[in-house]
């Protein structure tokens, strides 16, 4: 960004349009666009977090199979934190988004009004008739959403950033002046951006050198795999995703965690949600659900091989694609995605856009497919969320029977892990990631999980090692 750049009158809507809009809406979103902007999104978020009181969030998207991000959303100033427990979160979220759509104006080409948050794995019980699922051992809210007042989106491919803040119409022209001044002050802060990387690296080194402790011992995990395989042989289910949790006591800041994941273990989604006593930081390779212009997309990631620096990626890809176990696991979860989308899509519109492509990451290589459907007229994006949650790659098939077996074998609930996190727009669009390759920090304790899909051909020792490969960023 140019250091002497000023926004002058490049606020939209302009004052005249704002005066008209303030008669129709309770609040108006003021925005400005700035070009020649090439600051790293995670570094900017860390800097703004250091000078701005929490809560806040970052949500960064790297194109599937790409290397560099094309978009980063940053929640700078949060209007409200909404915890939802003991009820279907989509009911509350639908009400929030409906009120925003009716009362908050935002330019059509700017998606800066909505909610960022997560829905935990145990919310499955609100979407299907499941048995009573165990509770989250960390005591996180079942769902949590941040409603932003001031937000920024970096468009990395255009070297541009859009800044927005919502102002109340009841304060008249004074609100416009205050909103403009806020955006000007924000630009000044961005222009003075500095970050102490040495301090972050020291925290990361100390964290990685702190011992991790499993909640379930290895022999118990292997035993549970054998139990699942027996249930599969007896025809109870086709696949079940078994997970395990590790924990460690370590002093590490949220800014160090997000920096570590984004630089050393980049994935399709980089995210961090920060509240006063809770943070969720992840680098997930898997989309949960995207809805854009009424088209719903699921991208199942299933089938994994550990990345080995001594073996060519191409050779590992061939080995993964030739694995009978991994192909069987993947195909059944693609079929499950088709069935889930079929519940809310127009007849004949569910398509498999791509099948069993490979994605290469620092620690693992995955098989990935893409399934799409056009949402039917009497449904919306939140119905699509409910009908597909949680993604089959994180629970198994059939979903309900798999959830029952998981509840029997895993000693505790999963909480946010294996749920979904992302942006829910007032315009009806959704962009969410699965919550995997994620660390949860609560009350100065850190916790992280890994898992894998158990099928008929699963080898227990190999499955156990896969969970460790997936947690390599934290152990």
Q: What is the 3-state secondary structure (H, E, C) of 158-213?
A: HCEEEEEEEEEHHHCHHHHHHHHHHHHHHHHHHHCCCCCHHHHHHHHHHHHCCCCE
State percent of the chain over pLDDT 90.
76
| C-alpha of 300 from chain center | 14
Nearest to 29 by CA among 181, 207, 150, 126: 150
CA–CA distance, 259 with 471 (Å, rounded to integer): 16
Does the pLDDT value for residue 314 go beyond 50? yes
The average pLDDT across 263-267 equals 91
Please tell me the predicted confidence (pLDDT) of residue 375: 98
Tokens of residue 322, six digits:
């030739």
The average pLDDT across 137-146 equals 96
Please tell me the predicted confidence (pLDDT) of residue 444: 76
The average pLDDT across 218-235 equals 96
Task: Give the pLDDT band (50/70/90) at residue 2.
Answer: very low
Please tell me the predicted confidence (pLDDT) of residue 195: 76
Lowest mean pLDDT among 211-225, 318-332, 452-466: 318-332
The average pLDDT across 37-57 equals 87
Give the CA radius of gyration of the chain: 22
DSSP tally for the chain: helices H, then strands E: 13, 21
Does the pLDDT value for residue 110 go beyond 90? yes
Does the pLDDT value for residue 89 go beyond 80? yes
The average pLDDT across 27-45 equals 93
Average pLDDT, the chain: 92
CA–CA distance, 427 with 15 (Å, rounded to integer): 24
Tens digits of residue pLDDT in 413-445:
999 999 999 999 999 999 999 999 999 998 778
Task: Give the pLDDT band (50/70/90) at residue 1.
Answer: very low
* Contact criterion met (CB below 8 Å) for 457 and 324: yes
State percent of the chain over pLDDT 70.
97
Nearest to 117 by CA among 275, 267, 252: 275
Does the pLDDT value for residue 35 go beyond 70? yes
Please tell me the predicted confidence (pLDDT) of residue 364: 78
Task: Give the pLDDT band (50/70/90) at residue 54.
Answer: confident
CA–CA distance, 25 with 18 (Å, rounded to integer): 10
Please tell me the predicted confidence (pLDDT) of residue 8: 44
Catalytically annotated residues: 366, 393, 417, 437, 453
Does the pLDDT value for residue 6 go beyond 70? no
- In eight-state DSSP terms, residue 133 is P
Placement of tokens 């030739």 in the chain: 322
Element (H, E) at 93: helix 89-103
* Contact criterion met (CB below 8 Å) for 421 and 385: no
| Angle formed at CA 420 by CA 437 and CA 417, multiple of 5 degrees | 45
Does the pLDDT value for residue 202 go beyond 50? yes
CA–CA distance, 230 with 45 (Å, rounded to integer): 48
- Residue 270, number of CB atoms within 10 A of its CB: 27
CA 410 vs CA 223, 395, 458: distances in Å: 12, 12, 18
Does the pLDDT value for residue 66 go beyond 80? no
13 vs 365, residue with greater confidence: 13
Does the pLDDT value for residue 299 go beyond 50? yes
Helix (H, G, I), strand (E, B) or coil at 49: helix
Residues recorded for the chain: 475
Does the pLDDT value for residue 3 go beyond 70? no
Task: Give the pLDDT band (50/70/90) at residue 467.
Answer: very high
CA 96 vs CA 54, 89, 91, 146, 389: distances in Å: 22, 11, 9, 11, 20
Task: Give the pLDDT band (50/70/90) at residue 310.
Answer: low
Tens digits of residue pLDDT in 79-88:
999 999 999 9
Task: Give the pLDDT band (50/70/90) at residue 60.
Answer: very high
């Amino acid at each position: 960004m140019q250091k002497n750049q000023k926004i002058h009158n490049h606020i939209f809507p302009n004052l005249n349009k704002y005066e008209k809009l303030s008669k129709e809406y309770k609040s108006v979103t003021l925005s400005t666009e700035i070009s020649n902007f090439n600051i790293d999104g995670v570094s900017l978020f860390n800097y703004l977090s250091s000078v701005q009181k929490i809560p806040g969030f970052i949500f960064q998207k790297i194109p599937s199979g790409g290397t560099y991000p094309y978009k980063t959303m940053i929640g700078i100033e949060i209007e409200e934190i909404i915890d939802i427990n003991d009820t279907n979160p989509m009911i509350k979220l639908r009400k929030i988004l409906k009120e925003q759509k009716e009362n908050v104006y935002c330019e059509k080409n700017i998606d800066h009004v909505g909610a960022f948050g997560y829905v935990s794995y145990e919310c499955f019980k609100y979407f299907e008739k499941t048995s009573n699922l165990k509770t989250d051992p960390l005591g996180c809210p079942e769902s949590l959403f941040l409603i932003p007042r001031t937000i920024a989106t970096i468009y990395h491919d255009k070297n541009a950033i859009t800044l927005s803040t919502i102002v109340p119409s009841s304060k008249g022209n004074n609100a416009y002046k205050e909103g403009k001044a806020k955006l000007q002050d924000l630009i000044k802060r961005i222009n003075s951006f500095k970050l102490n990387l040495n301090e972050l690296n020291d925290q990361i080194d100390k964290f990685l050198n702190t011992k991790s402790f499993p909640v379930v011992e290895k022999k118990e995990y292997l035993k549970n795999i054998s139990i699942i395989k027996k249930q599969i042989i007896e025809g109870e289910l086709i696949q079940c995703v078994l997970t395990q949790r590790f924990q460690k006591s370590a002093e590490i800041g949220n800014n160090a965690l997000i920096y570590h994941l984004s630089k050393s273990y980049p994935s399709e989604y980089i995210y961090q949600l920060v509240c006063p006593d809770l943070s969720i930081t992840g680098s997930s390779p898997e989309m949960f659900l995207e809805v854009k212009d009424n088209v719903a997309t699921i991208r199942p990631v299933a089938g994994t091989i550990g990345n080995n620096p001594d073996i060519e990626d191409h050779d590992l890809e061939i080995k993964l694609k030739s694995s009978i176990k991994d192909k069987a696991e993947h195909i059944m979860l693609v079929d499950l995605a088709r069935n889930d989308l079929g519940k809310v899509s127009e007849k004949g519109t569910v398509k498999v856009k791509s099948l069993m492509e490979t994605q290469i990451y620092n620690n693992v290589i995955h098989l990935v497919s893409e399934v799409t459907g056009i949402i039917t007229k009497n449904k919306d994006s939140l119905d699509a969320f409910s009908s597909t949650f949680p993604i089959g790659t994180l629970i198994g098939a059939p979903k309900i029977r798999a959830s029952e077996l998981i509840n029997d074998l895993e000693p505790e609930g999963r909480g946010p892990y294996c749920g979904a996190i992302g942006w829910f727009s007032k315009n009806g669009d959704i962009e969410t990631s699965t919550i995997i390759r994620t660390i949860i920090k609560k009350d100065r304790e850190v916790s992280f999980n890994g898992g894998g899909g158990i099928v008929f051909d699963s080898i227990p020792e190999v499955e156990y090692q896969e969970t460790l490969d997936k947690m390599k960023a934290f152990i």
